[in-house]
Amino acid sequence: MRTLIAELKATDGGKRKVSVCGWVHRIRDLGKVCFVLLRDRTGQVQLVLDRKPEFSVESVLRVTGSVAANAKAPGGLEIQVRELEVLSAAAPDLPLPVNQDPARLSLEAVLDHRMISLRNPKILSVFRLQSAILKFFAAHMRNEGFTEVKTSKLIGTGTEGGTGLFAVEYFDTQVYLAQSPQFYKQAMIASGLERVFEIGAAYRAEKHETPRHLNEYVSLDVEMAFIESEQELMDLEVRILKSIFAGLAAENRAELEVWEADVPAPDDVERIPRLSHEEAREIAAARAGRRVYEINPEAERLLCEWAREEHGIDAVFVTAFPRKKRPFYTHPLENRYTRSFDLLFRGLEITTGGQRINDYAMLLESASRFGLEADSLRDYLDIFKYGCPPHGGFAIGLERLTQKILGLDNVKEASLFPRDRRRIRP
């Protein structure tokens, strides 16, 4: 019967024989005695061997022995090994070290050898935290009466003009990978579910090579009916973020500590300011010392800096984007602007959203203004032709949220198997 390393603390030290399994994290061979640090999914424990180890790091062992207290051992316990079985021997030529601070490794090396670098406990902790984000997000949505949906990622035509799409050979025709579940989320609003969320892959065929872009990412999508304005959507996002942050603070201290990271307090999240696009440009310009025409990455950083100083929270909602900067389905505001918003968090846009046009005639007019053919949008337009309540929604980028919570330099560090222009493996 296997005992997990984290459970060892509960056993009465020194007497009871226990069996543990895990990976060899480190070997310190002192000749007469050999210390092996063993790693399982719950922690690490020191093994004491009275002989030379016949295995190298990363080998998988099952050992049986007695647990004893040792103040010098990591965690204060050690196992005097009686029986040892090598379940899987690791080759000695590891392509990169697993038991060192990953800051010493280049991102290229970490991603090239992803199958191995994920074994590093600090790197792996990113994805333990990410799993928790998924849990707290879904739990919050369900608590507010949202239904989880799974929509197709293979679409006949682009949703937003056809640029930036990956083409897929689909039997005798061609389809595209969806940039977002936008049209489907809206269909599900109109279906009568009223409140839906989706956790799914999104694809952008954009040739950027920046620390903030991925060509494939996980989108946390939300859509809600019967809203009065986009303000309710920002209110909802505030509640979601509060839930996620509170959950992480309660259950994921270990991962946050490894990265010396922290999540905003609930009260601070409540204080996230809401600036119009014009106000945001002015504030960014004042800090940059020159004109700012759009909220580019530099402006995102400056605005979050401003919010931290003025409001005590490193985040800003930018609202009322000009109409030409948002997709055709975005609800207009005073003709020139839109009922849209972005959320900038710790210097990075992590959410785009807004109220959508739900009036059929207005949508036809907007599509035409954007040069889109109604025929190519027929399925989508039917949603509105046959009755659709006022609604809106947004999407949070999972990897960007993870990145910014942990303070990672590059969003690719927050993707298990990131895809960029050149990276299609492992």
Range 16-45, binding its own copies (CB under 8 A): 21, 23-24, 39-41
Calculated CA dihedral for residues 159, 162, 163, 166, nearest 10 degrees: 90
Region of residue 173 (phi > 0: left; psi between -120 and 50: alpha; otherwise: beta)? beta
Residue 147 binds its own copies (CB under 8 A): yes
Length of the chain: 426
Number of residues that bind its own copies (CB under 8 A): 94
* C-beta of residue 296 within 8 angstroms of C-beta of residue 339: no
148 scored as a contact of its own copies (CB under 8 A): yes
Longest dimension (CA), the chain: 84
Q: Segment near its own copies (CB under 8 A), from 64-72, 200-208, 299-307, 320-328?
A: 200-208
**Whole-number minimum distance, CB 247 to its own copies, in Å?**
12
Closest contact distance (angstroms) between CB of 21 and its own copies is 5
Please report how close the Cβ of residue 318 comes to its own copies at its closest, in angstroms: 28
Cis omega before residue 426 (within 30°)? yes
DSSP H helical segments within 145-294, as ranges? 182-188, 231-251, 253-258, 266-270, 277-288
Report d(CA 238, CA 345) in Å as an integer.
Answer: 12
Rounded to the nearest whole angstrom, what is the least distance from the CB of residue 389 to its own copies in the complex? 5
**Distance of closest approach, residue 308 Cβ to its own copies, in angstroms:** 30
Which residue is it, tokens 């970490």? 110
Task: Check residue 59 for interaction with its own copies (CB under 8 A).
Answer: yes
Residue 39 vs 213, nearer CB to its own copies: 39
Please name the residues in contact with 32: beta carbons below 8 A apart, sequence gap of 6 or more: 50
Q: Which position among 68, 105, 107, 193 is part of the footprint of its own copies (CB under 8 A)?
A: 193
**Pairing state between β 167-170 and 173-177:** antiparallel
374 near its own copies, rule: CB under 8 A: no
Nearest distance from residue 188's CB to its own copies, in Å?
7
Number of neighbours of residue 398 by Cβ within 10 angstroms? 21
Q: Choose which of 5, 36, 58, 280 interacts with its own copies (CB under 8 A).
A: 58
389 near its own copies, rule: CB under 8 A: yes
Which amino acid type is present at position 367?
Answer: A
Q: Does 416 bind its own copies (CB under 8 A)?
A: yes
| Closest distance to its own copies from the beta carbon of 193 (Å) | 6
DSSP 8-state secondary structure symbol assigned to residue 191: I
| 188 sits near its own copies (criterion: CB under 8 A) | yes
**Which of 68, 84, 168, 364 touches its own copies (CB under 8 A)?**
168
Letters for 203-222 (x = contact with its own copies by CB under 8 A, - = none) are --x-x--------x-x----
The span from the CA of 144 to the CA of 55, in Å, is 52
Structure tokens at 355: 């109220």
| Nearer to its own copies among residue 40 and residue 237 (C-beta) | 40
From 105, 109, 118, 246, residue interacting with its own copies (rule: CB under 8 A):
118
Among 34, 89, 246, 285, binds its own copies (CB under 8 A): 89
Q: For residue 105, state whether it binds its own copies (rule: CB under 8 A).
A: no
Helix (H) or strand (E) segment spanning residue 382: helix 378-385
For the CA atoms of 340, 345, 347, 351, the dihedral, rounded to the nearest 10 degrees, stands at -40
Q: In the block, which residue shows the tokens 């296997």?
A: 2
Contact between 195 and its own copies per CB under 8 A: yes
Query: According to CB under 8 A, which one of 49, 175, 236, 395 is a site residue for its own copies?
Result: 175
Helix crossing, 231-251 with 121-143: angle to 10°?
130
Residue choice 8, 47, 149, 363 for contact with its own copies (CB under 8 A): 149
Residues 348-367 that bind its own copies (CB under 8 A): 358-360
Tell which one of 12, 54, 171, 291 touches its own copies (CB under 8 A): 171
Does residue number 388 form part of the binding site for its own copies (CB under 8 A)? yes
Contact region with its own copies (CB under 8 A), list: 279-287, 310-318, 367-375, 409-417: 409-417
Residue (of 157, 182, 160) closest to 168 by Cα position = 157
Stretch that binds its own copies, among 7-15, 103-111, 340-348, 418-426 (CB under 8 A): 418-426
406, burial (CB in 10 Å: exposed 0-12, middle 13-18, buried 19+): buried
Amino acid at 242: K
